[in-house]
């Protein structure tokens, strides 16, 4: 596991964004080589706060992705399980997920894999836990009765199949979940803990999210920054590939160390 601790929410966001960008550039995608980015799913369509609206306004409209290359689980499908199975097939067809980016709930869930979800589960319909319904109430004018109680979600097993997993955790209210996820054992009550058994995980968090961790853990992962020959600041235990600069696309063609 890599645990990246930044001071504030905005820095954690920026770090994660740059990491994703670097990974895509490094991967060098093309017409026959898809960089498949996985993201957790959610609310039903046709709702102003629907996941489609969320993805459009926060991601798709800012980039030049072709609609054909976006796949969102359809909560209004006639046969929900068939929809889920088809989604798994589409992931396989695209060559598997290269990088899955997600957050965790206060109850330690990844996507909507609520406490008690099988750690080898696949994409399916899930009943939401009260914690999640409460957390989502803000999208429905605070009215609990309006919050959907079911959701389609990728499974823990589905995410485990991704070649790399990045989890974003910010805020003190997530601190306990982070503690359970990385300092305690693998437990289906805290489904994020499953990633302890994934070969390539990155947890990105802010200071507040580390509040429940041992000082020892935090110190280990927050090794003092060092400056390399080129004046780029990096932490020693990143263990990640060399940094790519903003105009990295051209440098990616060369043999690329920076």
- Is residue 53 near another protein by the rule CB under 8 A? yes
> Is residue 96 within 8 Å of 37, Cβ to Cβ?
no
- Regarding 54 and contact with another protein (CB under 8 A), the answer is no
9, 15, 34, 60: residue in contact with another protein (rule CB under 8 A): 60
Contact positions with another protein (CB under 8 A) in 70-109:
70, 72
Segment holding 9, helix H or strand E = helix 9-27
- Interface region with another protein, contact rule CB under 8 A, candidates 6-14, 54-62, 75-83, 137-145: 54-62
Question: In a 3-state reduction of DSSP, which class is residue 148?
Answer: coil
Instruction: Give the DSSP per-residue string, 153-218.
Output: E--HHHHHTSSEEEEEE-SGGGHHHHHHHHTS--BTTBGGGGGGGSSSEEEEEEGGGGTTS-HHHH
36 neighbors 98 (Cβ within 8 angstroms)? yes
Nearer to another protein, 61 or 229 (CB): 61
Instruction: Give the shortest CB-226-to-another protein separation in angstroms.
Output: 38
* 41 scored as a contact of another protein (CB under 8 A): no
Select 30 or 67, whichever has its Cβ closest to another protein: 67
Interface region with another protein, contact rule CB under 8 A, candidates 17-25, 53-61, 138-146, 208-216: 53-61
The residue range among 62-70, 174-182, 214-222, 242-250 that interacts with another protein, by the rule CB under 8 A, is 62-70
Q: Of the two residues 67 and 224, which places its CB atom closer to another protein in the complex? A: 67
Closer by beta carbon to another protein, 53 or else 187: 53
Separation of alpha carbons 92 and 161, rounded Å: 10
Per-residue three-class SS string for 32-99 = CECCCEECCCCCCCCCCCCHHHHHHHHCHHHCCCCHHHCCCCCCCCCCHHHHHHHHHHHHHHCCCCCE
CB of 86 to another protein, least distance (A): 16
With binding defined as CB under 8 A, does residue 67 bind another protein? yes
User: Which is nearest to 208 in space by CA: 179, 184, 237, 185?
Assistant: 179
Q: Which stretch binds another protein (CB under 8 A): 29-37, 49-57, 104-112, 151-159?
A: 49-57
Regarding 217 and contact with another protein (CB under 8 A), the answer is no
Q: Does 141 bind another protein (CB under 8 A)?
A: no
Q: Are 176 and 165 in contact (CB under 8 A)?
A: no
Q: Does 68 bind another protein (CB under 8 A)?
A: yes
Interface with another protein (CB under 8 A) = 52-53, 56-57, 60-61, 64, 66-68, 70, 72
């Amino acid at each position: 596991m890599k645990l990246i601790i930044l001071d504030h929410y905005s820095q954690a966001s920026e770090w994660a964004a740059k990491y994703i960008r670097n990974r895509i550039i490094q991967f060098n995608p093309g017409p026959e080589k898809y960089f498949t980015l996985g993201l957790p799913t959610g609310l039903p369509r046709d709702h102003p706060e629907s996941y489609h609206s969320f993805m459009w306004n926060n991601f798709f409209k800012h980039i030049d992705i072709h609609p054909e290359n976006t796949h969102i689980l359809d909560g209004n499908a006639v046969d929900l399980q068939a929809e889920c199975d088809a989604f798994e097939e589409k992931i396989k067809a695209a060559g598997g997920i290269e990088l899955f980016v997600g957050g965790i709930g206060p109850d330690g869930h990844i996507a909507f894999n609520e406490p008690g979800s099988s750690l080898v589960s696949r994409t399916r319909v899930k009943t939401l836990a009260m914690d999640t319904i409460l957390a989502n109430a803000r999208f429905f004018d605070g009215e609990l009765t309006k919050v959907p109680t079911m959701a389609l979600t990728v499974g823990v097993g589905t995410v485990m199949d991704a070649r790399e997993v990045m989890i974003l955790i910010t805020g003190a209210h997530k601190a306990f979940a982070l503690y359970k996820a990385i300092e305690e054992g693998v437990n289906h009550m805290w489904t994020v803990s499953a990633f302890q058994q994934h070969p390539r995980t990155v947890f990105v968090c802010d200071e507040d999210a580390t509040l429940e961790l041992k000082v020892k853990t935090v110190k280990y992962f927050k090794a003092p920054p060092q400056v390399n020959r080129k004046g780029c600041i990096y932490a020693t235990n990143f263990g990640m590939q060399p940094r790519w600069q903003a105009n990295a696309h051209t440098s990616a063609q060369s043999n690329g160390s920076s």
